Amino acid sequence: MSKYIFVTGGVVSSAGKGVTAAAIGKLLKERGFDVSIQKLDPYINVDPGTMSPYQHGEVFVLDDGSETDLDLGHYERFIDTSLTAVCNVTTGQIYSEVISQERRGDFLGGTIQVIPHITNEIKRRIGLVPQTMKAEVVIVEVGGTVGDIESLPFLEALRQMRSDIGRENTMYVHVTWLPHIGATGELKTKPTQHSVRELRSIGIQPDVIIARSDYPIPEELREKIALFCDVEPREVIPLTTCKILYEVPLVLEHEGLGEISLSRLGLIRRCAPDWSEWEKLIAAVETDKPKVRIALVGKYVELQDAYMSVCQALQHATLAVGIETEVVWLHSTDLENDKGWKDLESVHGIIVPGGFGSRGIEGKIAAARFARQNQVPYLGLCLGMQVMVIEFGRHVLGSESVNSTEFNRSTSHPVIDLLPEQGSITEMGGTMRLGLYPCKLVPGTIVAEAYNQELVQERHRHRYEFKNTYREIMGENGMVFSGLSPDDRLVEIVEFANHPFMVGCQFHPEFLSRPNKPHPLFRAFMESVVARVQDLTEEESKTLYAEQSG
C-alpha cells in the first residue's frame, strides 16, 4: 500500500507550491523511498500543450511524450525520476473520460454527478500512479488555490481518500503566503488563517502548514499560526524565499519536515539523507564568482516562466563551471526594430530557445547571424536550431527568401519543412513529434565531445525539421550535421566547423538537465563562454582567473 502526501495552496498562486511538493519528494527520496509526484490541474484543457506560454508558462515534455505543466519539470529535477503521463491530470481529462463512459452506456442510465462519478475518476487517476510506477510515496499537488470553484472536486476527492485508505496513509500539506505590510514592516497571518478555515470547511485539516514569505518569519508568528490552525508549532514550517530553488529541500530538512512526514505516515527511515551534493550547489551560489552575460532571445520574455527549464539548465551549467550568469532577456521583435542591439553586443553567449509562429522570427534569425559572424557562443534549442539553419541558408544560397515553411509556406528554399508524418495531421493536441528519440553523434564533432557518448536520447516537441535536400550544399559550406536519427533520416543537431561553439539541436536538452548533473550541451556552451571571456581581453581574463583562484 502506498502512502500519499497531498499538497494544496492557499492565499495566492505562485507561492512555490510546485517546488515545495518537489522538495518534499526529495526529503523522502533521500530517506530511501521510491517517490512519484502527480499534479492535478483544475483547468478544462486536456493538457497544456495547446495553451499559450503566456498563460501557464513553459510546456514541459516527458520521456513518453506527454505535454505537461511546468511543475513536472521541478519534480523531475528534484527527485531525478522520469515521470509519465499519469503524473499530470487535468479537469478536462477527467470529464472527457467520464463523458465518454456515459456515451458508451457504462452507467446504465444512472445520473452522472460530480460526487461520486467525477471524484471517483479523480481517485482512479491518483491510484494509477502507484499502479504504473515504482512509488511507495505518492505526492499529489493540486493546482490553484483553496477557495477556487474549479478545484473543489479535486479537494473533495482528497478528503475522501483519508477515509478510503486511512489516516496513517495520508498527510495533508497546505502552502500559504504571509503578506508583508510595508508601512509597519509586519508579516500577516490572517490570510493563512482564512485559507486554513476554508480548507477545513471542505473537510480537510492540514497536518503541516508551510508559510511562505519574502521576509524572515518570527517565532511568534509560527506559534500564532499553530494556535489558530490546530497544528503544533513544529508543524508550521517557515519557508523564506531562497537564493536558488535547490535550497528549499535543505530548509525543509532543517525545519524537520522529513521526519515529521515519516512519523505522520508511519514510515521508518531507510537511510540517513546525504545532502552533500546539494549543499555544494548552495555553497557555489554563495561564492563570489566572475560574471558573464548570456542573452536569451525569446518571444515570450515578458513571462519568464515560459523559459523555466532553459533558465534552470543554464543555472545548473553555470554553477558547474564556476561562474555567475546574468541572463539578458531580449525580445526578438525588438531586434527587428533596431532595439536591444546594444545589449546583444554586450553578451558573452546567446541562447535562442524554442517557440512557435512567425512573430519575432526575423529577430531570432538576426541574433543567429550576429553569433555566426562574431564568433559568439550560440546554443539553439529547437526553433533556435531552425533559425540557425535559415540564417546560414540565406548566407549560403544568397537569398533572403530562405525560410521554414512554418513562416513562409511558399518560400523558394524551404530549408526547414514539415516532417512528412505531420502533413496530414489536423488536430492540435498531442500531435507533434513528442518525447524521447535516439540521436547518434558523429565522432569528432563538438557535441560528440560534449556528451562523450555515441548514442543519446533526447526529448522532442516540434512539427518541422531540417530538409534533407539542403544537406549537401550546407555541408559543403561548413555546416556539420553532428547528430542524426539512427536511420540517418533526420538531422537532430547541427554545428559549424568554423566557429568555437555554434550548436543547434532539434530537441530540448533543457528538459533533462539536473542540478547536480548539468546537461552536456549546456555545460559545453558555458565552457565555450568562459573560454571566450578568457580570449576577449587580457584584462578580463586576468580578472576572471584571479577571482576564480581567490
Chain residues that interact with ligand GLN, rule: CB under 6 A: 354-356, 382-383, 386, 406, 461-464
Nearest approach, Cβ of residue 31 and ligand GLN (Å): 37
Cβ nearer to ligand GLN, comparing 38 with 312: 312
221 forms bridges with which residues in the sheet?
none
Residue 46 burial (CB count, 10 A) = 17
Contact 390, 415 (CB under 8 A): yes
137 forms bridges with which residues in the sheet?
3, 35
> What is the longest distance spanned by two Cα atoms in the chain?
81
Cβ nearer to ligand GLN, comparing 162 with 462: 462
Query: 330, 332, 340: which is closest to 359 by C-alpha?
Result: 332
Cβ nearer to ligand GLN, comparing 293 with 463: 463
Q: Is 234 exposed, middle or buried (CB count within 10 Å of its CB: 0-12, 13-18, 19+)?
A: middle
- Give 3-state DSSP helix, strand, coil % of the chain, rounded to 5: 45, 20, 35
Active site residue 180: no
Contact 334, 296 (CB under 8 A): no
Active site residue 271: no
Contact 370, 386 (CB under 8 A): no
Nearest approach, Cβ of residue 464 and ligand GLN (Å): 3
Query: 79, 41, 73, 74: which is closest to 459 by C-alpha?
Result: 73
Output the nine-digit C-alpha cell for 498. Answer: 568554423
Q: What residues contact 48, with CB distance under 8 A and at least 6 apart? A: 41, 56, 59, 67, 68, 69, 90
Using alpha carbons, list the distances in angstroms from residue 390 to 349, 385, 452. 20, 9, 28
Contact 290, 548 (CB under 8 A): yes
Nearest approach, Cβ of residue 378 and ligand GLN (Å): 15
Nearest approach, Cβ of residue 57 and ligand GLN (Å): 14
Comparing every residue's Cβ against ligand GLN, the nearest one is 354
Does an H or E element contain 33, and which? none
Nearest approach, Cβ of residue 354 and ligand GLN (Å): 3
- Which residue among the candidates 87, 229, 311, 382 is catalytic per the annotation? 382
Cis peptide, bond prior to residue 116, ω within 30 of zero: yes
Cβ nearer to ligand GLN, comparing 154 with 511: 511
Query: 355, 354, 350: which is closest to 372 by C-alpha?
Result: 350
Active site residue 508: yes
Nearest approach, Cβ of residue 447 and ligand GLN (Å): 18
Query: 346, 349, 385, 339: which is closest to 365 by C-alpha?
Result: 385
Alpha carbons 219 and 234: distance in angstroms, whole number: 10
Cβ nearer to ligand GLN, comparing 52 with 96: 52
Contact 86, 129 (CB under 8 A): yes
- Which residue among the candidates 58, 121, 235, 510 is catalytic per the annotation? 510
Contact 252, 258 (CB under 8 A): yes
Cβ nearer to ligand GLN, comparing 135 with 335: 335
Q: What secondary structure, in 3-state letters, does 454-489 show?
A: CEEEEEEEECEEECHHHHHHHHHCCEEEEEECCCCC
Nearest approach, Cβ of residue 422 and ligand GLN (Å): 8
Q: What is the set of active-site residues?
A: 382, 508, 510
